[in-house]
Amino acid sequence: MRPVENMQDVRREIDRVDQIIVPLLLERLQYIKAAGRIKHDRDTVHDSQRIEDVIAKVKAEALRLNGDQDYIEDIYRHLIDWSINHEFTVWDSKE
């Protein structure tokens, strides 16, 4: 984290971080779309075991970075839910 002294600094740094996050989220979305195209069975789109594996990994990474694990888990659960719904849309468009 870079030092900040005022709200202008905070906003500039949030904008900088967002410029890093957005391309990564869009890259992740491309893999979600690929999964929707690759999976042969619609029932495999929602995989509870994989969801919990992802959550465990991101929480471990947050812990390694001395970060807020609850914050990361909440964000990822929302991201995963959105991704699953999108993957269903991609899968359904194959039919």
Q: Which of these, 53, 54, 28, 39, lies nearest to 89 by C-alpha position?
A: 39
User: What are the chain's domains?
Assistant: 7-94 (1.20.59.10)
Per the CB < 8 A criterion, the answer to whether 80 and 34 are in contact is no
pTM value is 0.89
User: Tens digits of per-residue pLDDT, 45-86?
Assistant: 999 999 999 999 999 999 999 999 999 999 999 999 999 999
Torsion of CA 53, 54, 57, 59, to 10 degrees: -110
